[in-house]
Structure 1
Amino acid sequence: MKATKNIRWWIIATIFLATTINYIDRQALSVAAPVIREDLNLSNEQYSWIVSSFLLAYTIMQIISGRLIDVLGTKKGFSIAIVWWSIANMLHAFGSGMLSLGIFRFLLGIGEAGNYPAAMKAISEWFPKEERSKAVGIVNMGPGLGAIIAPPLLAWLIISFGWKMAFVVTGALGFFWLLLWRWIYYEPEQHPKISKEELKLIQGKKELEQTKEKLPWVHYFRYKEVWGLALARFVSDGAFYFFVFWLPSWLADEKGFSLTEIGMFAWIPFLFSDIGSFVGGWTGEKLISKGFSLNASRKWVLWVGAILVVPVLGCLYVESPYIAITLISISLFATQFKQSSLFTLPIDVFSKKDAASVWGITGSAGSFGAMLFTPIIGWLVDTISYSPVFVIVAFLHIISALLIMVFIPRIQPIFNNK
């Protein structure tokens, strides 16, 4: 069979597509929220508990799915995850109140939790460290693209066919992706279309990792690096989820946007988040190629991104919704610029055998933090306003960067020095 040049980049494009679908399905509820809340007579606090049910499942299952993917393998594990979450998303069409939507949201969280552990394991299998930040940056553009596509797509589906059909259509996307995944993904050594040159590049760059035995699961918690990564995700993930789950409601409640206007404008900040993810990954790779150490390049990207999130505070002082959208766009660019570095650290520090498990632990910490933050958002919005939420969001990423500095003073592969 004829080899395909740079097959690893075709694989990362396929994973990027899965992550895009993941976030279209995830954001379907937030775009439909103004309509569903009115149709089912739900308060902001009730809506926040529905969102939290997703995050509860996501928190629990990232640890479990990370371990399962390490055991089952990337191809099979990713396949099971996307089938599960696609069916769960379609079940939302049968939602009739807070309880049923909460249950379906919980089921969605179980399946969607497998996406990132599988993606990070694939990157650890297919990419040398010099290319990993770019690969992670590309995958991490998926949430932004999903959030770009979701508002206009969902608004059109809801206006044309009703909110229930919107969940059926978006849920069906995963089954089309599954056909592509089953065809394209194998480990490098078994891939029928990999060239000898590409296989040599991948294997030659990972000799040290191949000498490392897989850690027993409980042993991960003995490493301060795991605690640092988990705490950094715990405090920062909720900031991004605020915009994923609440931006359409904020535009409707505070700026008077109709569903049509939400479809026209709510995608713009996520376009900038996509750009930030790619630029962050590219910057990390470029700094290494210019002679920066792994430690210096990752932390430079972390701090620049964390600081550039702060201008989102300007949303509290501007009347124009378009200026506010601009400030949120800058914030989401900076968020994903930073996260392209933070998300790469588990596969920088741990071996490919441990990548999905470590990612699962840190991802669970992130979604747990977001789960705790979400009902607080609902309570603050119902009792005070969105203002304190924006203040909190502005500084969470700086705290996240500080935690990395404290727990991981020097970023380097753990199997080289422990």
Structure 2
Amino acid sequence: MSASGLSGRTFPIRYVVLGLLIAAGCISYIDRTAMAAANVDIAREFGLSFTELGVLLSSFASAYLICQIPAGLLADRVGGRWLLFACLLLWSAAQWLSALAGSVQDLLIARCLLGVSEAPVFLVGTRLITRYFEPDRRATPVACLNASSSLGQVIGPMMLGAVSGAFGWRAMFVFVGGLSAVLALLWIGIYRNPKAGVPAEAGVEPVRAEKVIHELRRLLSFRTSWALAGGFVGVIYLQWLYAAWLPTYFQTTRHFTVSQAGYLSSVPQFAGFIGGLAGGVVTDRLACRGWSPARACRTPLVIALLVAAATTMLAPFCATTTLSVFVMSVSLFATGIAMTAGWTLGTVLIDERSVATLEAIQNMGGSFGAVMAPVLTGAAVQHSGSFVLAMGVAGVITMGSAALYRWGTSVRIV
């Protein structure tokens, strides 16, 4: 439903719902940075190498990847109210299980549960945005939703580093689990359906296996779907490289304490948050100047990825911490633009009926990048003793993603 079709009574609800979705996105990334904030302490307690730590860090993304298609199909057909509520409660439980972990296997199970429970969050959010906002008005709310991930990565290292430093890494997981539980209660109490006078889940299409399989096959028959998935690999690879390893970089390479590393890590992540917002503004303004919605997304997306690739490859050669933080900030600012532009691109290349499923396909590519980033980075650091090789690999992957977006997403899915 377009914004103009909402009555005066329900008009403000879309902003309330958007605010709750932004809060969910923010907390989900605070949850994801919990491991990164305590990497060194957890590795020391359980005797993990960088390679083993990378595998543990990737466990969340592996479960998240596997669940993307089912989550997208659920978001398109089941609705958002109860799905998101259940997810919030489950990821609270996953964090509390992490706090109780007595072995690496316990942590691994908890991280996988977290990946399963968080899989539908951004898909539900995108689905609701397409119901409330017209195609040429979606970039800014999508930007706010996606920027919430960077905001979570700003708040997470500072807050969780302080909690871990003061009370230990287990207290940190208890704290973030509590945040998720509070948000679950707010969501179920406040959420209202976009259509005035209609029950929250009314009109939802029943899930039928044959329709699900047919729709998935139809979407995967388009080159555009594969290009979106392949392109998003580089976007999320970079995001996870910094989210999972930046505190460790400052502790091991620059020799800062866990609390200091948390504060330093928040500076580039804040640049990513601003970049995420800027991506929506740029895309909307290009559309207002007469650019097609797809072109308005694609052009800043490709440019941003190339900038992010170049600065990531440059970052480990910086002589001072200040210069290193600045270069990484430029990289994450560009990554934020790419994140918003890439996610918005998926919403304008298909109609509302299947948007969450298409975004799930794209996000599967991103999740593959999230799986690879911790593992390849840990292995590269273990092998070479520095972050030079790891960041070089990230730059090459990102340039490949830029090429896929540039030449693979010209055809709209109909």
TM-score (norm 1): 0.89
Instruction: Give the deviation of 1:5 after TM superposition.
Output: 4.7
Which residue in 1 is equivalent to 2:226?
227
Cα contact 2:228–2:362 (8 A) shared by 1: yes
The size of the alignment, in residue pairs, is 394
Counterparts of residues 164-313 of structure 1 (less than 5 Å): 164-190=170-196, 216-309=215-308, 310-313=310-313
Q: Which amino acid aligns with 2:157?
A: P
SS at match of 1:291: coil
One of 20, 41, 47 as aligned partner of 2:53: 47
Of the structure 1 ranges 133-142 and 302-311, higher mean CA displacement relative to structure 2 is found in 302-311
- Residues 21-80 of structure 1 deviation map (CA, whole Å, 9 limit, x = unaligned): 000011011001111111222111111111121111011011111112222111122112
CA distance, structure 2, for counterparts of residue 147 and residue 313 of structure 1: 21
Report the CA distance between 1:245 and its aligned residue: 0.5
Q: Which residue does the alignment assign to 2:4?
A: none
Aligned-pair CA distance for 1:314: 2.6
Contact 1:91-1:104 within 8 A present in 2 as well: yes
Find the partner of 2:140 among 134, 140, 144. Answer: 134
Deviates more, 1:96-105 or 1:129-138: 96-105
Q: For the residues of structure 2 that align with 1:353 and 1:187, how far apart are their CA atoms?
A: 17
Q: What are the superposed Cα offsets for residues 90-144 of structure 1, whole Å, 9 maximum, x if unpaired? A: 2111223322211111111111111111111111111111111111110011111
Partner of 1:386: 387
Among candidates 56, 73, 83, match of residue 79 of structure 2: 73
Q: Alpha-carbon deviations, 1:133-156, whole Å to 9, x = none?
A: 111110011111111111121122
SS at match of 2:253: helix
1:132-171 aligned within 5 A: 132-171=138-177
Deviations 1:349-373 (A, max 9, x none): 1222212211112212211233134
| 2:27 paired residue number | 21
Equivalent residue number for residue 397 of structure 1: 398
Deviation at 1:191, TM superposition (A): 6.2
For 1:198, the equivalent position in structure 2 comes to none
CA contact 1:185–1:191 (8 Å) conserved in 2: no
Q: What is the match of residue 365 of structure 1? A: 365
3-state SS of 1:231 partner: helix
CA contact (8 A) 2:279 2:340 kept: yes
Equivalent pair of 2:294/2:348 in contact (CA under 8 Å): no
Q: TM-score, normalised on structure 2? A: 0.90
1:47–1:98 CA contact under 8 A, matched in 2 = no
> Residues of 1 paired with 2:407 and 2:291: CA distance?
20
Distance 1:265 1:69, change over 3 A: same
Query: CA distance change for structure 1 residues 191 and 298 in 2, over 3 Å: closer, same or farther?
Result: farther
Matching residue within 4, 16, 31 for 1:10:
16
Query: Does the aligned pair in 1 maintain the 2:280–2:341 contact within 8 Å?
Result: yes
Identity over aligned pairs, percent? 26
Structure 1 window deviating more from structure 2 (56-65 vs 313-322): it is: 313-322
2:22–2:145 CA contact under 8 A, matched in 1: yes
Amino acid at match of 2:174: V
**Alignment partner for residue 32 of structure 1, among 18, 29, 38?**
38
Paired residue secondary structure (2:195) = helix
Of residues 163-172 and 69-78 in structure 1, the stretch that sits farther from structure 2 once superposed is 69-78
Structure 2 Cα separation of the partners of residues 128 and 338 of structure 1? 21
Shift of the 101–10 alpha-carbon distance from structure 1 to 2, 3 Å rule, reads: same
Q: Offset of 1:10 from its aligned partner?
A: 2.5
Residue matched to 1:329: 329
